[in-house]
With several copies, the nearest count.
Chain A
Amino acid sequence: MNDAPIAGDAVPLELRIDAKSYRSADGTPVEVVRGLELRLDAGSFGALIGPSGCGKTTILRIAAGLDKDFQGRLNTPGSGRLGFVFQEPRLLPWRTVEENIRLALPAHLSGVDLTDLVEILGLGSHLARYPGELSLGLARRAAIARAFAVRPDFLLLDEPFVSLDEAVAARLRDELLALTTRTKVTTLFVTHHLEEAIQLADRLFFLSDRPARIVLEKTLPPPRGGRSQEVAASIRAEARALAARPL
């Protein structure tokens, strides 16, 4: 592996999944991940890219420590304050948007001012609404606000920017870029959108179909956000070749 170490003192994310399978309702085991080894330097930004249903969400849940039922080893970075944007918003329907965000805050942040964050996400006029009264796009933004608000030192995002119009999505991408650069939070990001990944990530992990393993790992040249057309084009070409290749 040719890692490019970025931040110094903090620990990297180290995830080794030898095997992970679910037992489905009729009893048959479904193998989802096999022989996956993923290392992400502290403070760097990794993107997972893979076909639908290959096991990306499963990997994130394992990385978050939510699913301990797997064979392998997990080493999480930072003090363990986690920000997670799930694939669905997962808001508490009986709490308003603001309550949903504040509930997730650790004690020392409980009184924090959310105005800026909420303005950036365009949630200003919806803070007092219940999730059932939001459009899906707004609900997603509330979920993103929640994950950002906790000031995580480990951030997991599962396709956070789908269901948003291009303008909002672009703004949020910039915001995510700024946030991760500023706070040096280790981030693992799932997307189907290659351009997005190229814009945001330090490192791309291309996954195979189920059972998922890493078929290609790619370090992108800094700086994030300002990749040249050539870099993007070469990655695109590589990804296309990968998709065409029989597994």
Chain B
Amino acid sequence: MWPRIFSLAALIAVWALAAALAQSRLLPGPFVIGAEILAEIRSGELPFQMACTLGRVIVSFAIAMLLGTAAGYVMGRSKAVDRFADPWLVVLINMPALVIIIFAYIWVGLNETAAILAVAVNKLPNVTAVMREGARALDPELDEMAEAFQLAWFARMRHVVMPQLAPYLAASSRSGLSIVWKIVLVVELIGRPNGVGFVLGSAFSLFDMARILSYAISFIVLMLVIESLLVQPLERRANRWRRRPA
């Protein structure tokens, strides 16, 4: 815990120094931002917008991870499926976010469903690409073991497959959560009447850096808290079996 706090303090110090040197409206220091965040929290604005965004992030993240992992697993395991589905994956993964967002908003409507769908579809192929690599790297010897002892499908997934996919899952959900959040911002910016992205859009057109940064940083702080209190302890538990490097 201490190194984390120390490291964050260092980060803030660097920022404060940069702000002091720049002396510009365009790079507000940590104190300005801190005050702004407090004011926004007190007005209830920030919690409301954050909640809107967070809801979208969670739902679309869950959809993308579930479907993406399933698709990636199947593609990594079956050469036949992979050969057929791979071009679709390449198309989807390289489709610009803007195009997907526009299509979703046009064909589904300017509503929540379209927004969440657009984000999930944007993120899904990335999860698939990562999980496919994971599935390809699965150990055939453990598979044989599971088959010999006739492990049930569920037990096989849980005890044999998932632990092998764990680092890929960790990687794709960590970098994935951040991507989802970034796309949610764009989706909100283009067509939602609330959420952090909506605020950023307005703030951007006014060049209100203090507001932009205070919302961005609030989300980052949230992520830091989730990382420190939830993800990392879980990860440590999941990695207990690894031999510590000498």
Task: Please say whether the chains A and B touch (CB closer than 8 A).
Answer: yes
- Interface positions of A (Cβ within 8 A of B): 23, 25, 61, 64, 66-69, 80-82, 84, 86, 88, 90, 92-95, 99, 103-104, 106, 130-133, 146, 150
- On chain A, the residues within 8 Å of B151 by CB distance are 103-104
Min CB–CB distance B19 → chain A (angstroms): 44
A82 touches B148 (CB 8 A): yes
A88 touches B149 (CB 8 A): no
- On chain B, the residues within 8 Å of A25 by CB distance are 240-241
B159 touches A84 (CB 8 A): no
Min CB–CB distance A85 → chain B (angstroms): 10
**The one of B144, B145, B155, B241 that contacts A132, using a Cβ cutoff of 8 Å:** B241
The reply on B160 being an interface residue by CB < 8 A is: yes
**The one of B148, B155, B238 that contacts A84, using a Cβ cutoff of 8 Å:** B148
Complex CA gap A99/B238 in Å reads 15
Q: A92-B160, A94-B163 are in contact. Are A132 and B243 (CB under 8 A)?
A: yes
- On chain B, the residues within 8 Å of A130 by CB distance are 240-241
Q: A86-B145, A88-B141 are in contact. Are A95 and B159 (CB under 8 A)?
A: yes
Q: A66-B246, A92-B159, A130-B240 are in contact. Are A104 and B141 (CB under 8 A)?
A: no
Q: A88-B141, A92-B142, A92-B160 are in contact. Are A66 and B241 (CB under 8 A)?
A: no
Q: Which of A23, A61, A67, A103 has the most CB of B within 10 A?
A: A103
Kindly report which residue of chain B lies nearest to residue A89, judged by CB atoms. B145
A67 touches B155 (CB 8 A): no
- Interface positions of B (Cβ within 8 A of A): 141-142, 144-145, 147-151, 155, 159-160, 163, 238, 240-244, 246
List 7 additional contacts besides A92-B163, A104-B149; criterion CB under 8 Å.
A25-B241, A64-B148, A66-B144, A84-B145, A84-B149, A86-B148, A130-B240
B149 touches A150 (CB 8 A): yes
Complex CA gap A92/B159 in Å reads 8
- On chain B, the residues within 8 Å of A67 by CB distance are 246
Complex CA gap A95/B150 in Å reads 17
Min CB–CB distance A78 → chain B (angstroms): 13
Main secondary structure, interface of B, reads helix
Main secondary structure, interface of A, reads loop
Min CB–CB distance B142 → chain A (angstroms): 7
**The one of A61, A104, A132, A146 that contacts B242, using a Cβ cutoff of 8 Å:** A132
For the complex of A and B, list the 9 residue pairs with the smallest distance between their C-beta atoms, beginning with the closest: A104-B149, A94-B163, A84-B148, A130-B241, A94-B241, A90-B145, A132-B243, A25-B240, A66-B144
Min CB–CB distance B233 → chain A (angstroms): 15
Complex CA gap A64/B150 in Å reads 11
Min CB–CB distance A97 → chain B (angstroms): 11
Complex CA gap A23/B145 in Å reads 22
- On chain B, the residues within 8 Å of A68 by CB distance are 246
Kindly report which residue of chain B lies nearest to residue A103, judged by CB atoms. B159
Complex CA gap A121/B155 in Å reads 26
Complex CA gap A132/B240 in Å reads 11
A90 touches B246 (CB 8 A): no
Complex CA gap A130/B163 in Å reads 14
Complex CA gap A88/B141 in Å reads 10
Complex CA gap A146/B141 in Å reads 16
A106 touches B150 (CB 8 A): yes
Min CB–CB distance A67 → chain B (angstroms): 6
Q: Which of B141, B145, B238 has the most CB of A within 10 A?
A: B145
Complex CA gap A90/B143 in Å reads 10
- A selection of 11 A-B contacts at a CB cut-off of 8 Å is A61-B144, A68-B246, A69-B246, A80-B150, A84-B149, A86-B141, A86-B145, A95-B163, A106-B150, A146-B149, A150-B149
Q: A90-B141, A132-B243 are in contact. Are A66 and B148 (CB under 8 A)?
A: yes
Complex CA gap A61/B148 in Å reads 9
Complex CA gap A131/B145 in Å reads 15
Complex CA gap A69/B244 in Å reads 12
Q: Which of B148, B150, B240, B241 has the most CB of A within 10 A?
A: B148
Complex CA gap A71/B117 in Å reads 50
A66 touches B147 (CB 8 A): yes
Complex CA gap A193/B246 in Å reads 31
